[in-house]
Amino acid sequence: MDKKKAKLLFKHNSYDILEDGEYVICAVSGKKIMLNNLNYWNVELQEAYFSAEEADKRYRDLIK
């Protein structure tokens, strides 16, 4: 059975699930992030990141 992509609303210390699913996509790498492994996101951009590396890359790209 294929896993379904979730739609989330990111908040500062949590997120709301707008559409049920098992994963989201990293905004930088395109990797699937299972919701139970989701630790990094940007509230203002409403983006999820696979790891601290991707979050740092996005931050560095934005400040250029």
Instruction: Let me know if residue 53 belongs to a domain.
Output: yes
Count up the domains in the chain and report the number.
Answer: 1
pLDDT digits (tens, 9 = 90+) for 43-54: 999 999 999 999
Burial of 63 (0-12, 13-18, 19+ CB in 10 A): exposed
Burial of 14 (0-12, 13-18, 19+ CB in 10 A): exposed
pTM for this structure? 0.92
pLDDT for the residue numbered 34: 98
- 38 has pLDDT over 90: yes
The domain in which residue 17 lies consists of 7-63
Instruction: Let me know if residue 1 belongs to a domain.
Output: no
pLDDT for the residue numbered 1: 57
Instruction: Let me know if residue 13 belongs to a domain.
Output: yes
- 2 has pLDDT over 80: no
Instruction: Let me know if residue 2 belongs to a domain.
Output: no
pLDDT digits (tens, 9 = 90+) for 5-34: 999 999 999 999 999 999 999 999 999 999
